[in-house]
Structure 1
């Protein structure tokens, strides 16, 4: 990657939007005893860094071939919105393929950004189906397929994030650690490529959700691996196969520089940043900040850290689920299946076991026809995790038969 090409792309990009802020975050800096800078890609016009790669891809083709070309992409999220915004900017026609299951909020935002220059087609229940439809469209019509991450021009566009970081920190003021979220790997490839020689290789930390760890798996195997299953909760980084170009560039790093983060831990970060800082993050946008929490003060104290916040396209209809996951991860909410005697006063006796900070959030009979004992699903919220130690001791002392199913993924997915 040629830095002068990236610098040129960044300069040209200023005609579309100003550089995103690099902000010293006082809250996180105080928590970890470090200088924590956030590169706020959630403040781009489409609330993610994806506009960068799309702009760089388009500008090269439009400058060479004019505006008569038609473009096509497949995406259910940030790539579609960046694509649509750039189509309108250049005045070119584009077609966006999205799964039928895409939330209306994302469809409408893509339509708003693209206006008359973008057509949206809903195909299939899953991304793979709409991706194949987009490829078929490109082959039959001659439209240009705009990939989300596995392309040299896309990578060059994402590298402008790093060019801005260098300029914003100032010459000779390099960070000790750069924390990067990873989905398909375009952002990580661009940033590490530009910062090579400025930040040492061991100064990078890559973050993936546990349910979509394609980079970690590929680094471990020494080849590109396609995951059998992907958890789509962190939808902006839920990629089952790292890009080929991206893996080739990132394979120089050891696998232990990839940190896997649980989806529930990411939810804690989303809630914390919303409540404390008033910052709205999507799950993928919270990855790098969740990594800071995993490193803790011991791993960060005294360091200058840049964490890339990749996006803020959060659908607030997901907030109840995010809050639920965050409370479970923080130990503030648990679910139990109880065997409760079917006799007068049994429920009152159970309620007397609860502490002053314990609150029943869910109560449901699972087997209503039971004669002697009934199975009950109960969800309990509390103010401090240690309260559950006291509560379970009270259950045991009372001879209550119960099962804690909070971390039982099979049962939780079925009945919680």
Structure 2
């Protein structure tokens, strides 16, 4: 991949959409005392950067003689939507394999983007089963598999993000830090490759969800690692194995440059950007902005920062869960299991322990654990995180037996 190749790919992309904006964000710049630019890939026609790699792959495959072939992909997310859009653009048949468990919203959007040129097949309960079915179909029909990230033409397509950034930066401005979200590594491999001769390796930070640290673990061991399990909450970046080509392009970076971001912290970013900026981000799209919050003002002040916002395909049915997780991360909501006396006035006595800014969000008797006592699950919201230490002190002074289960993932998942 050369710079000229990437710039040619970027020029070809103008057939289907203009360059996504590189926007100076006043809100984040003021928060960190920095100059923060957001590369808004959530404003592409399919609300993610994935359309770039899919377009470049099909463009080059058709030029190389794949006319008349059926193109195939396996995806339940942004890659499927980008693939579908591009198949319709080129007027070629495409088959998208999705797990049976794929939300209907994603199926409908893929069908909308692809129109008559796309066939959707629902196969298997998990992605691995779906992916194998796609590969079997390619073999059976002599089709062309379009991978989501581990291919030179995909990487080259994603690198067009960097070509646009270079053109859009104000004259003479050189970024001190570029924050890149990482799933399979196609975007990171492309962007760092394009900037290899202009930005030193220490100017990049890679942003992975804590529950899917495939790049970090691979850099730590010096070879590609397949994770035994991943947390799928950040579905656009929850990848068990970084691409082989992508890792080869990224192996010179230090493991310390990969930030593992808590899923609940990502939720806080989603809520903040929605409420303050009116920007809708999917969890993967919020990774790079979350990294800025973890780095903090002390490390960012006075610097020029670019955060690539990778996507905005957010299912609003997830909003209650995202808000819940955001409040827990911010320390504004906690869950307790209380041992409450079974007597008249016990509940009133408990309510008197709450402060003026505390509110009960959930109250549920779990079971009557003894003749005179019962176990209660209670969720409490407050306006300021510092209210909880004072509340716990009042619990202790009253002799109340309780357990804070907010950060106990196993127990919280069972009862909340």
> TM-score band (shorter)?
over 0.9
Moved more, 140-149 or 168-177: 168-177
Q: Output the CA distance in 1 between the equivalents of 2:50 and 2:11.
A: 17
SS at match of 2:236: helix
Instruction: Name stretches of at least 5 consecutive residues in structure 2 with no aligned partner.
Output: none
Report the counterpart of residue 210 of structure 1 in structure 2.
210
- Aligned residue pairs total 416
Q: Output the CA distance in 2 between the equivalents of 1:69 and 1:91.
A: 11
Contact 1:185/1:243 (<8 A) preserved: yes
Q: Output the CA distance in 2 between the equivalents of 1:138 and 1:174.
A: 44
Deviation track 1:232-288 (CA, whole Å, cap 9, x = no partner) reads 000000000000000011000010000100000000000000000000000000000
Contact 1:166/1:174 (<8 A) preserved: no
Post-superposition offset of 1:63: 2.2
Is 1:355 the equivalent of 2:332?
A: no
Post-superposition offset of 1:66: 5.7
Report the counterpart of residue 15 of structure 2 in structure 1.
15
What are the residue-to-residue correspondences of 1:174-185 with 2, within 5 Å? 174-185=174-185
Report the counterpart of residue 157 of structure 1 in structure 2.
157
What are the residue-to-residue correspondences of 1:121-132 with 2, within 5 Å? 121-132=121-132
Moved more, 178-187 or 65-74: 65-74
Instruction: Name stretches of at least 5 consecutive residues in structure 1 with no aligned partner.
Output: none
Report the counterpart of residue 308 of structure 2 in structure 1.
308
Contact 2:47/2:313 (<8 A) preserved: yes
What are the residue-to-residue correspondences of 1:337-356 with 2, within 5 Å? 337-356=337-356
What are the residue-to-residue correspondences of 1:301-340 with 2, within 5 Å? 301-340=301-340
Q: TM-score, normalised by structure 2?
A: 0.99
Is 1:56 the equivalent of 2:51?
A: no
Report the counterpart of residue 298 of structure 1 in structure 2.
298
Post-superposition offset of 1:170: 4.5
Q: Output the CA distance in 2 between the equivalents of 1:343 and 1:302.
A: 60
Is 1:190 the equivalent of 2:195?
A: no
Contact 1:67/1:90 (<8 A) preserved: no
What are the residue-to-residue correspondences of 1:371-390 with 2, within 5 Å? 371-390=371-390
Q: TM-score, normalised by structure 1?
A: 0.99
Post-superposition offset of 1:64: 2.9
Contact 2:369/2:375 (<8 A) preserved: no
What are the residue-to-residue correspondences of 1:237-256 with 2, within 5 Å? 237-256=237-256
SS at match of 2:47: coil
Report the counterpart of residue 70 of structure 2 in structure 1.
70
Moved more, 306-315 or 61-70: 61-70
What are the residue-to-residue correspondences of 1:260-279 with 2, within 5 Å? 260-279=260-279
SS at match of 1:211: coil
Report the counterpart of residue 105 of structure 1 in structure 2.
105
